[in-house]
Chains A and B, each alone.
Chain A
Amino acid sequence: MAQRFPQALTCYVSGVHSGPNPSPGLGVARSLRQAFPHARLVAVDYSVESSGLHSEVFDEVWVQRPWKEMRLPVYQAAIQAVLDGGALWFPGQDLEVEWMAGALPDPARAMLPGLAALERVAKPAIFASEGLPVSIPEWIGADRSDWDLHAFCREHGWRVWLKGPNYEAMKVRDWPSFRHGRDFLSELWGTEQLFVQRHVVGAEESVAFCAYRGELLDCVHMTKHTQTAEGKTWAGAVNEVEPGFAEALRARIAELNWTGGGELEYVRALDGTLHLIDWNPRFPAWIHAASFAGHNLPALLVEAAGMGTPQPVPFQTNQFTRIVLEVPVRNTHPLPAVRQANDQSGVGSKHPSGMTELSRRLRENRPREDEPVRPGPVVVPAMASDLEEVAGNGAATPRRMFLPRTSRERFAQVEAVLDAQPGGTVEVGFGYSVKTNPHPTLLALADQAGMFAEVISSAEMRRALEFGFPPERIIMNGPASQWPDGPGAGGPLMAAFADSPQAFERWMCHGPPEARYLGIRLRPVTFESRFGSGLGSVERFAHIVKLLKAMPAEQEMGLHFHFASDVLGPARWREVFEGVVHWAAAIEQSVGRGVRCLDMGGGYFPDDFDRELLPRIGAMTASASAMLPELERFFLEPGKAMAQPSMALATTVLEVRRGSDGAVEAVVDAAISDLPMAPFYPHRVYRRTRQGEWEGVGGGSDRLVGRICMETDILASDLKLPEELKAGDRLVIGDAGAYDASMAYNFGRGLLEDACC
């Protein structure tokens, strides 16, 4: 056979695992084989479990020791020898690229970018994307305070990702899953390298390219059509890159002086905007699909490096899919023996690339600082004086303390809105949710501020009456609003809402509670809730309409909707609010009676209530009354926004356990029974310094554990406890005034529930 090329072409292709989360090596090799049928292709990987080693596309395999145990200088010298021998190297792993870029003094034949370029494409900022028609989705470093991180997640409706610097992303749904993800990923990457990024809804696309010494050789666009459960491509379509995008990319590649393959992964949002998620310094695993579409990118690199002219690539099709194939295992590299299963871990579940091990080794080489401290809470003036007044004395602990100035500030805000009445002709009111915290002082503050009492039982109603709320300042709702039997309100309530069509039907048969506005609680249609009347079918809707029509003609109609804002985040809550207004309009139209009162809750995180809700009340009322012309009253139920910051829990350190590895655990005399919401949102912790000032305790990985014998009795697992903390010291846990107070329970005190006999 005639020798086609002046010298034999040898290509080392690394990262060849082929599975649901494949590395690019196999695709790169298939494209090289297509363009250079006589090339010598050598598969490189770091585990015998890398399945692509057995593909017949490779002439040879070169399996390395795993990254964890490899002598890096030995491997570095071996690669250098291969390159010096005239071979090309196509790297297939992000961190391998990073290591090679740093380790090889003259990587001329290695198809990888330089360290400076890698820094410019590092997540999350991806500085190199400037000038491209993409934006970077909002993100926040995980080294920020828990308070800020929680706020970021709420702001983005808990549709966020917790990500490591190279790969590995975990979807976060709530604070417990965030904390779990942070523990897991910071073990891998270190907290200072993690970040939280908002999720963008849209189609996943990417642009793959190849460049040599700053010259963009070619690029292709890929749209994912189907993907695996992990979000990896399974089928897609390859097309030309939009000209504007390609030109901008050409300029960036020149600036970066890029060599090698690369991939930009982004999301095309429903509004058409592009949001860059990743800039990978290697080819994507689907790269051979580009060759079907007439773009053999790996071959262009060979050509640019002066190693041969590729055979022309015929256009076959622009769509591709993956299939699963069995291939014979190479005799030279038999499978490892079947490992005995044990109950600690599954077998074969780990990705064979060994990237986590390489990550640890690369981090070993960097200067290791002490565990970074995430900032603690700022002690605002009202809190400082509250702490001084109520926590400064030596009273026994654990003790829940009312914070007078902090509380007064919260209720004063509500009072100011009531004075301003931003609803114009629609009277705005606020309901204080009695269940959140029925403490007399808070009820009195709510009363003085002009709030209504929102009650979910007759028992709560009677407590509100007892504390001076007249019946006309009481709003009733809940699945058992008339439980338990007992004296009535003694006058018409402001409003009463049935939790179900059945409850409303009972009211119509046996007499409803006497109330100015009577109506029903609506169940959300876009997410699960056990409360309210479902609207998911015309039949259900018609039933509700029929019931409301049956009300006496003179009875005024109201509607109630409640879903915790901190679960959805305030932006999604506002979307739900808009939907509710449309439902109210549909009901109004179908019943033939105006909606006079709208009561919306609730569960606001205090900061969201202050920053997101209060300034928008005027606009919300306006949009509601535009749809509901007879609307006269608009109630908002701030829920825990009023009570949560109003109390703190003082506790005393019983024992400090300092491990030889630096781990710190402090046992305190409070327990999860005193702070049942501890896992569900960040609680700010304060302590008094030696100088007598109050300061916030920062974040780290130290734990605060409670006094009782329950595995779950962990009050915090993400604090940086002060060096000088010792038994007898006092800590104050803030934000403990809402369900932490009302849902606290007796445990480990030798007490039984009073009702038990």
Chain B
Amino acid sequence: MRAAEPTVESAPWAEFVPSVLSDHGTECCAMARAWYTAMDRSMWRGEGGPAWISRKFPWGPSKWPLFWCEAMEAEELDCGAHQALSMEAFRARGIRVVPVQLVQRQEVHHLPHWHGRWGDASASPAWAREGVAYHEACATLQEGRAEVWDPTVGAWLSPRHLEGVRSIAAVRIGGATASDEFVDWRGVRLRMGVWASLEAGGG
């Protein structure tokens, strides 16, 4: 059975803003940030992407708002937290980086597993619908070109992945505020801050 083709409009994701970690403004979060920065400097030499993050904190439910001190003590983190941490790692090396939001096709029958797992953790399962899911990543920008880093998988994504499981139905680069700036993601021209559907042969 196949679900209807997902669109941004068919789910509440158009309104989603990229995840940001919160800070208590006290020693707990300051210490967590200091630890993260030093750890990142030891684990990642600055080439490729910070693949260590999802190895250290495998993908799983997070409760939001998520504070730095909670995130650094978590056993698992969701893609929003992975995104926020990866952004921090790129930024620390002086690389311009923006959040990326994606709508990806998924297996229909995976939904109850996700809802169950997120529900057990008292985390919101709103990111998952039948056959489709909301996902966060980040993009490094250089001279108008974007490369999208999926921090959960630890891989660079391709806009040509348009069919099958995990294929990209829609993407928004640069967060929730529409901008006049355009970026080129491997041949696909996208306006920053605006959702776009990816179609075979399109772009």
Contacts and interface: CB of A to CB of B under 8 A. Distances in A.
B95 interface: no
B31 interface: yes
A593 B158 CA distance: 47
A234 interface: no
A270 B73 contact: no
B2 interface: no
B47 interface: yes
A542 B27 CA distance: 10
A583 interface: yes
Contact of A271 (B32, B47, B69, B73): B47
A121 B77 CA distance: 48
A538 B32 contact: yes
A579 B37 CA distance: 10
Nearest to B73: A538
Given A541-B35, A542-B31, A586-B38, A270 B72 contact: no
Given A270-B47, A538-B72, A538-B73, A578 B41 contact: yes
Q: Which of B27, B35, B48 counts the most A-chain CB atoms under 10 A from its CB?
A: B35
19 contacts: A270-B45, A270-B48, A525-B39, A526-B43, A535-B35, A535-B39, A538-B32, A538-B72, A539-B73, A545-B31, A575-B45, A579-B42, A582-B38, A583-B42, A586-B34, A586-B35, A586-B38, A589-B30, A590-B34
Contacts of A515: none
B41 to A, nearest CB: 4
Which residue, B39, B69, B72, B73, has most C-beta atoms of chain A within 10 A? B39
A538 B67 CA distance: 14
Contacts of A537: 73
Contacts of A270: 45, 47-48
Given A270-B48, A526-B43, A538 B31 contact: yes
A103 to B, nearest CB: 47
A599 B24 CA distance: 34
A649 interface: no
Contact of B41 (A545, A579, A587): A579
In this complex, the member of A525, A538, A575, A590 whose beta carbon has the largest number of chain B beta carbons within 10 angstroms is A538
A541 B73 CA distance: 11
- From DSSP, what is the main secondary structure of chain A's interface residues? helix
Nearest to B27: A590
A542 to B, nearest CB: 6
A240 B39 CA distance: 39
Contacts of B34: 541, 586-587, 589-590
Contacts of A582: 37-38, 41-42
Interface string A514-535: 0000000000011000000001
Interface in A488-518: none
A611 B44 CA distance: 26
B170 to A, nearest CB: 23
B94 to A, nearest CB: 15
Q: Nearest 5 pairs between A and B by C-beta? A: A579-B42, A270-B47, A270-B48, A586-B38, A582-B41
Interface string A586-606: 110110000000000000000
Nearest to A592: B27
Contact of A586 (B37, B47, B72): B37
A538 B43 contact: no
B109 to A, nearest CB: 22
Give the contact-size bracket for chain B: 10 to 19
A585 interface: yes
A270 B35 CA distance: 25
Interface residues of A, number: 23
A97 B48 CA distance: 38
Interface in B36-95: 37-39, 41-43, 45, 47-48, 69, 72-73
Contact of A525 (B27, B42, B72): B42
Contacts of A525: 39, 42-43
A583 B43 CA distance: 12
Given A525-B43, A590-B27, A590-B34, 9 more contacts: A270-B45, A538-B73, A542-B31, A545-B31, A582-B38, A585-B38, A586-B34, A586-B37, A586-B38
Contacts of A589: 30, 34
A134 B95 CA distance: 27
A643 to B, nearest CB: 30
Contacts of B43: 525-526
Contacts of A535: 35, 38-39
B162 to A, nearest CB: 13
A334 B41 CA distance: 59
Contacts of A526: 42-43
Contact of B30 (A269, A578, A587, A590): A590
A583 B69 CA distance: 18
Interface string A233-272: 0000000000000000000000000000000000001110
Contacts of A586: 34-35, 37-38
A335 B184 CA distance: 58
Nearest to B49: A270
Interface string B9-37: 00000000000000000010011101101
A613 B161 CA distance: 48
A581 to B, nearest CB: 8
Interface centre among A525, A535, A587, A590 (most CB of B within 10 A): A590
Given A270-B48, A526-B43, A579 B35 contact: no
Interface in A268-291: 269-271
B5 to A, nearest CB: 21
A175 B27 CA distance: 47
A538 B37 contact: no
Most chain-B Cβ atoms within 10 A of its Cβ — which of A270, A585, A586?
Answer: A586
Interface string A570-584: 000001101100110
A590 B41 contact: no
Interface string A553-582: 000000000000000000000011011001
Nearest to A269: B47
A6 B42 CA distance: 67
Interface in A29-65: none
A582 B42 CA distance: 8
Contacts of A587: 34
A224 to B, nearest CB: 14
B185 to A, nearest CB: 17
Contacts of B48: 270
Contacts of B30: 589-590
A271 B48 CA distance: 7
A542 B31 CA distance: 7
B34 to A, nearest CB: 4
B48 to A, nearest CB: 4
Nearest to A578: B41
Given A538-B69, A538-B72, A539-B73, A590 B45 contact: no
